[in-house]
Amino acid sequence: MTNKTVKTQLETLLKSNPKLLEEMASKILKSETKKTETKAFEVKDPSKVATFGMVMKISATFANMENCPKDIKFGTIRGHFLQRLNDKKKPLTQGQVQKILSLKSLPASDLKAMRAYKKLASI
């Protein structure tokens, strides 16, 4: 059998059985819309210094939220938390990252610091 004959036979079968067509379409849609399971964010040692991946997770999480302020974008959030990560005196810890990710929005102190830096950088 050639592809053309198989295609015509399949078309006639589906035209004669609309219910079968509907079932097949619903199965395809269900299989394509399955969500991947997301694991909860786990921290092994809250006192250890955070990682770059954790900073990226914070940035991606809050930049894509609906309640994220319009003037604060992904790069601003990433830059702010990278600066906190690289701080010599008091670096960002994994416990702090876990606490930040459990919040519904960015802390007001962080937003204030980000806006202050943006204002300073624009001068």
- Residue pLDDT tens, the chain, 123 long: 677 787 787 778 777 877 777 787 777 766 655 555 566 677 888 899 999 999 999 999 998 888 888 888 999 999 999 999 999 999 999 999 999 998 888 999 999 999 999 899 888
Domain range annotation of the chain: 3-32, 52-122
Question: Which burial class, exposed, middle or buried, applies to 44 when counting CB atoms under 10 A from its CB (0-12, 13-18, 19+)?
Answer: exposed
Q: Work out the burial of residue 95: count CB atoms within 10 Å of its CB; fewer than 13 is exposed, 13-18 middle, 19 or more buried.
A: middle
Res 38: pLDDT: 60
Distance in angstroms (rounded) separating the CA atoms of residues 17 and 96: 59
